[in-house]
A and B are shown apart, each in its own frame.
Chain A
Amino acid sequence: MKSTILSALLIFYMSCLTLSAQNEKFKALFLYNFIKNVEWPQSAKQGDLIIGILGNNPITKELETITSSQKAGNQSMKVKVFSNVEEISNCQILYVSPGKGSAIPLLISKINGYSTLVVSDSKGGIQQGSGINFLLDGDKLKFEISKHNIESRGLKVSANLLNLGIAVN
């Protein structure tokens, strides 16, 4: 009997390690769709489409799954993780992890001149300069969107995307 209980607990603890964050799967799918609904200037359509991620986040794994099989138009997609603002290099889309929300004003100045869609995941992200900001309305995953913040970086955003998001200006 003792061995049964111990084995059951062991299975339990081992299995805890396999935790996967379902929420991040959907955020990754949303990001992939944002790419489909945003048009970058010609200069940014060269080479690979880089998805930057600021901060360690399970979304990385999800995005790698998507980018391994999908393309953005003719461009292959690649995921690049930046652990701090200093490391940020040119990328078409930059996802700012919830824990890095306070760094948005700093990174906006850092990417000055890049055609980057900034997607944040923290309260007040748009006000700090991001183009799209994820939010949870109750248990529902939604996003805020600022046409101004996106287009000021030389990008064009589809009317469809604007309609689906909560407009914040």
Chain B
Amino acid sequence: MKKIYITIFILFIAFSGGTGFSQENKKSVTEMTREELSELSYQDLMNLSLEDLMVVANKFGLSADEILEYFLNKDVTSASKRAEKSINSPLSTTVLSKDEILASGATSIPEALRLIPGMIIREKTNGNYDAHIRGNDNLPPKNMFIYSENSISLVMIDGRPVYNYAFGGSFWETLPVELNDIDRIEVIRGPSSALYGPNAVSGVVNIITLKPEGKNLKTDASVQIGNNSAKLANASLAFGVSDKLKVRLSGNYTHFNRSNDEFYIYDLGRNYPKGALDTMVMWYNPSRSKMKVHENIDEAIPDPSLSLNKYGVNAFVFYDVTKDINFNLSAGLNNSSNNTTTLGNSEFPIAGRDADFKYFDIRSKIYGFSLQANYMMGKQDFQRASKGWDIDPQIANASLEYEKSFGSLVIRPGVSYQSAIYDDTKSLTQEDIDNLNGFLNGAPKITNVAGYIRGDYSFKEKLRLIAALRTDKYNVPSSTYFTYQFISTFNINTKNLVRAVYSRANRGPFIVDSYANYNWQVVPANSDGMAPQLLIWNGSKKLDLPVMDMFELGFRTQPFKNIMIDIEAFQSKTKHFSYFMPDTLDVTLNLATGKAVNSVAHIQYYNFDLASTQTGLTFNISAVLAKNLNLKVFGTFQKTDLKNVYPKNYFNNLAEMQASIPSNPKLQQDGYLLTIASRAQTAQYKLLNGLTPTTEELQAAQLFQTFNATQLGRIGQLQSQGYKETYEVYNTDIENDKIKSSLLENSSNKATPSFYGGFSVSYSPTPKVNAFLSSYFFTSNEIIHSETDDTNKNGYDPIYKIDAKAIFSMKLSYKIYKENAIFINCRNLFNSTSREFAFMDKVYGKYLVGASISF
């Protein structure tokens, strides 16, 4: 660690030594842009007339207060839906500005979130990330990757939800916008569905895009190249058709290769090249002959070295009709392919995903009314070459809100409608649909009609009370959810604020949980006849939706003009998790041979009594140490207690159900009837042929004569079926659609690190040079994945441990002329290669060089 700081120190000193470069100062200060003004040296300022000096001071806002306001107390709209200063934000909010994002060198939106407190960001494969707000990872445990990824936070672009309603979560590679489009990212920690709608359970990431400032043509472009074939490029063009009508066009491209091109095979416990996946010997293959691990590996993973390849194109139109009437339209498309976590079960943890989306979004303000409507459609293959995962979304949102002030009270009622259709029929043949080979085999829809109201009352600028209430009526489950947020802030004085939040939020329904209608033919077939050859999955339309309740206390203080400290303590409780489990196993036996002929498992989605209680504290300290030196330090301490954990997974359930088949009463009865009939027959044969039957056979013959018509009929029926009969065994852990409470345990969730945070330092020794150093760290954490459960594998450790990690990143940029710069960008500077996400690739440093132009 010492070495690291020495290196940083040397780098700082090296750059501090740089001298200022003379400025071309032919333009008058009134004509100069904010950026050009920022380049004026002290000498330039001394040469200015008082008149010009005042222009500079006012135009650039170089008064200390403005600089401090800019860095410490940025405007935030997310929490209040109106612009206000961060210090007054009633919720746990952090704003990341465009300047900070660009200076930091973050290569993607999720990576930039590492600069925000309360975020747990893990890199899976090069450039592909999982982002959690405050955690609640891997719930319920012993599960597939879907449940390790975040599905309880809402990501929005300018208020448009970009959420995966199929089975939850946000796929960062499918966002059409990139960092060059962003004015700021606002993150709200804590349940906020009363303000933002369903899925804002652990928090909200609201990405706000840029609006062109002036009428003049402005062009920005940036390129970066680096190791592992990293190529990042973006460009944008902004211009005003008139003072009222402005347009911005932008495009982005990102490519990263993986650090290796091998795949981890769960069952064999190590990595193999793709070619080997065609011809592996798997431990469970009784013939021990070579077999395919994946049916069509070339289609699933055409390029094993690819990590992420994506592009997006966007157009933004801003039309300000009058001060009180405006229209904003954005439209765009994006395309992505990446190799990252599988979502379902697979022999290896990496799968290919593809997405191709188009969207439009219209937002308008007409006096007190705010209207937003948007539509997104396209193709999304969640797991390439696996039937059922190619599900095309069509998402529509519309909302209308009205804001009215009554003195110190501001009321904002609204209504919204949301519809999400996921259609898998386009990727299936009619035969597939008939055989239920898709997940949905149709185009089911979830809808949500909501009404909400928000009241914001201020008393003498000291006390502020906010209440947000919302009801959501879903089509599945056909029920109404009521969520709320009660918030109060108290300004002790202008520099100290205390606040409290009590809120409830719910997650929305998922298409797959509600509508799954899927026959999964097990390939390769299970060699054990008792083990299911076919899994029939069914969603449930009556699941309770996950709900989080939270109480939070916050304190913000500016002890000095240049320092802002923000502390929040929270406790949240989440319940109504849902998950699928087998409830019935139909085993067809040949009673003549005693062997299983076929086995079919029925799997359905159920609610669990699992409850997760999270207690934590987040701090964030920002300081403007000088105009050219800013610092941030932040971190979160937390623990998660779990109640009512079901210690088994669905493999365990299936194994137990198979084991219970011999004791099935119907099978025992049939076995008894057939045994008696068989022995009686033998007795008869022996007597007819002058042989002596055994005592057992004679007893059977006597017993057989007492059989009634039903018993004889049953024997006849079994004979006519060729002694093949199907027996149903049930999952006895389920009682009244719930898991028996006696089976549940309490534990703690170690999947969320007990501490995570970071710091960043931005330093400009001269106006032309900026060095931005950032660090992100988390303590060790562990997940229990269904594929690592020891009961169905050869003694592998069921817990996948991720070691504690500190990642340092640095961008050094030098402005050659005006805003045109060249830079060196090192992500994971010291090449700390330990894995950040279970089973995924080792994470290597990204070392990039690049240039940006702006004119």
Contact = CB atoms under 8 A, between A and B. Distances in A.
B756 to A, nearest CB: 10
A4 B69 CA distance: 29
Contacts of A7: 1, 5
A161 B50 CA distance: 8
Query: B interface, by DSSP: helix, strand, loop or mixed?
Result: mixed
Contacts of B625: 15-16, 18-19
Contact of B1 (A3, A37, A70): A3
Nearest to B50: A33
Nearest to B45: A29
A149 to B, nearest CB: 18
B50 A160 contact: yes
A139 B777 contact: no
Interface in B3-57: 5, 42-43, 45-46, 48-51, 53-54, 57
A139 B65 contact: yes
A136 B63 contact: yes
Contacts of A3: 1
Contact of A37 (B5, B43, B50, B761): B50
B563 interface: yes
Nearest to B759: A8
B308 interface: no
B1 A4 contact: yes
Interface stretch (A20-28, A46-54, A112-120): A20-28
A22 B623 contact: no
Interface size class of A (residues with CB under 8 A): 35 or more
A12 B65 contact: no
A82 interface: no
Contacts of A70: 46
Contact of B57 (A16, A141, A161): A141
Nearest to B67: A22
Contacts of A8: 633, 759, 775
Contact of B627 (A1, A20, A34, A136): A20
Contacts of B804: 1
B627 A15 contact: no
Given A1-B804, A136-B65, A141-B63, A16 B51 contact: no
Contacts of A16: 560, 563, 623, 625
A4 B777 contact: yes
A30 B627 CA distance: 19
B50 A164 contact: yes
A121 B64 CA distance: 15
Contacts of B1: 3-4, 7
A102 interface: no
Nearest to A5: B635
B806 A20 contact: no
A9 interface: yes
A26 B621 contact: no
B633 A12 contact: yes
A1 B755 contact: yes
B623 A12 contact: yes
A21 B64 contact: yes
Contacts of B50: 30, 33-34, 36-37, 160-161, 164
A15 B623 contact: yes
Contacts of B241: none
A72 B843 CA distance: 61
A4 B779 CA distance: 12
A42 B108 CA distance: 66
B63 A22 contact: yes
A26 B5 contact: no
Contacts of B58: 140-141
B45 A139 contact: no
Nearest to B5: A7
Contacts of B623: 12, 15-16
Nearest to B49: A33
A40 interface: no
B562 interface: yes
Nearest to A137: B58
A66 B46 contact: yes
B428 interface: no
B806 A1 contact: yes
A15 B58 CA distance: 28
Interface in B295-353: none
B276 interface: no
A20 B45 CA distance: 18
A140 B63 contact: yes
Contacts of A140: 57-58, 61, 63
A33 B42 CA distance: 14
Contacts of B567: none
B626 A30 contact: no
Contacts of B69: 139
B53 A30 contact: yes
Given A160-B51, A164-B51, A12 B621 contact: yes
A112 B483 CA distance: 72
Interface string B62-81: 11111101000000000000
B631 interface: yes
A26 B626 CA distance: 14
Nearest to A140: B58
B415 interface: no
B20 to A, nearest CB: 14
B411 interface: no
A18 B626 contact: yes
Interface in A137-153: 139-142
A76 interface: no
A4 B63 contact: no
A32 B46 contact: yes
A89 interface: no
A8 B562 CA distance: 18
Nearest to A15: B625
Contacts of B775: 4, 8
A139 B761 contact: no
A136 B42 CA distance: 22
B629 interface: yes
B759 A23 contact: no
Given A36-B50, A37-B50, A1 B779 contact: yes
A65 interface: yes
Contacts of A20: 626-627
Contacts of B562: 19
Contacts of B53: 26, 29-30, 33
B759 A22 contact: no
Task: Give the 8 A-B residue pairs with the shortest CB-CB distance, closest first.
Answer: A23-B64, A33-B50, A22-B64, A8-B759, A15-B625, A3-B1, A139-B65, A139-B66
Interface of A: 1, 3-5, 7-9, 11-12, 15-16, 18-26, 29-30, 32-34, 36-37, 65-66, 69-70, 136, 139-142, 160-161, 164
Given A8-B775, A30-B50, 16 more contacts: A1-B777, A4-B806, A5-B635, A5-B757, A7-B1, A8-B759, A11-B759, A12-B631, A23-B65, A26-B57, A29-B53, A139-B61, A139-B69, A141-B57, A141-B58, A161-B50
7 contacts: A12-B631, A18-B625, A22-B62, A32-B46, A33-B50, A33-B53, A69-B46
